[in-house]
Amino acid sequence: MQILEIKGKKWVIGLEWEILPGDGSINEEAKEIAQKTNNKYGILLDYDNTYAIGLTNKTDKNPLAAVCVAEANKAGMDSNREYPDWVVLEEVGEDRYWMCVIKSGIPAPQYDAVFSLTEIKEKITELLINDTFKIFTNSNELVSVFEGIKEINRMGLNEITEGFNPKIQYKKYLGIPTWVFITTGSIMLLVGGLYGVSQLIEGASLKE
């Protein structure tokens, strides 16, 4: 997980996205993937009963870039209830570009990450083999690279996601859930209280 600032707006990027197999319980599959990747927290997104989980070892109150892009993408659903496939690219530094891929309404694995220009070219070339993607970027460098090859929509992350800020709750998949500590603490307080009362009663009995 990283915090990215674009024109004064902070974003969370860099979640590890995985697609759930869909063979069993959603919660159990999510927990199993979290264990395999050694990530404590996860966020689930779904499209037509296909689930993607974004994994991380920490949480943050800032909006999640990939989640907001996915929500904006859903607004483009066509009459067949199919979402367009998007590639969103944001220049974040010298030879550094954040790349997010939304496939079938959910974030695709191995993206939501920062790459060099060379890596971006390679990844876009692979994606364009089956050209179902719309590409969005404000970067003049990227626009010039793909000029004459692929039409580029001149919009950045802030513009694409304007009006989309879904409330997301991180779910803990590894470690002891918070409620266990609360329950255990309550029980200890109760036992301690009862013990104190019994001691007072015993003391009073002895005086008599």
Q: What is the pTM of this model?
A: 0.78
* pLDDT tens per residue across span 93-136: 999 999 999 998 899 999 999 999 999 999 998 888 877 889 99
* pLDDT tens per residue across span 157-205: 999 999 887 888 899 998 755 454 344 445 444 545 544 545 544 554 4
Give the β-pairing of 85-93 and 106-107.
Answer: unpaired
- What's at 59, amino acid-wise? T
The residue written with tokens 């301690």 in the block is 192
How many whole angstroms separate alpha carbon 116 and alpha carbon 114? Answer: 7
Give the β-pairing of 9-13 and 16-19.
Answer: unpaired
